[in-house]
């Protein structure tokens, strides 16, 4: 479990930051009419933004290059 967390640390941090951002977005802006697919529900908004945060933080992960001989 510890190895999994160490290997995916940026994804986890990105998902947490995104989830917090999604909830704050729903709370502050949201969708008052309820017709918006993502922002009308706090659960959907939190999950969507968590996924986007994890994908965004993926940009900063350094890939290990293996040289072939």
Question: For 5-57, what is each residue's pLDDT tens digit?
Answer: 888 888 999 999 999 999 999 899 888 787 888 888 889 999 999 999 999 98
Q: CB atoms < 10 A from the CB of 14, how many?
A: 23
| C-alpha of 51 from chain center | 4
- Give the span between the Cα atoms of 47 and 39, in whole angstroms: 11
65 lies in some domain: no
| Mean pLDDT to the nearest integer, 54-61 | 85
Is residue 66 situated within a structural domain?
A: no
Residue 58: which pLDDT band, with cuts at 50, 70 and 90?
Answer: confident
Q: How many domains does the chain have?
A: 1
Q: Which domain, by its residues, includes 12?
A: 2-60
Task: Provide the angle, in degrees to the nearest 10, between the axes of the packed helices 42-57 and 9-28.
Answer: 140
Q: Is residue 24 part of a domain?
A: yes
């Amino acid at each position: 479990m510890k190895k999994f967390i160490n290997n995916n640390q940026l994804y986890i941090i990105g998902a947490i930051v995104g989830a917090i951002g999604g909830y704050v977005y729903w709370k502050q802006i949201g969708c008052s009419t309820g017709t918006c697919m993502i922002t009308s529900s706090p659960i959907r908004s939190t999950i969507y933004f968590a996924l986007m945060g994890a994908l965004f933080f993926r940009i900063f992960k350094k890939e290990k290059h293996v040289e072939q001989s």
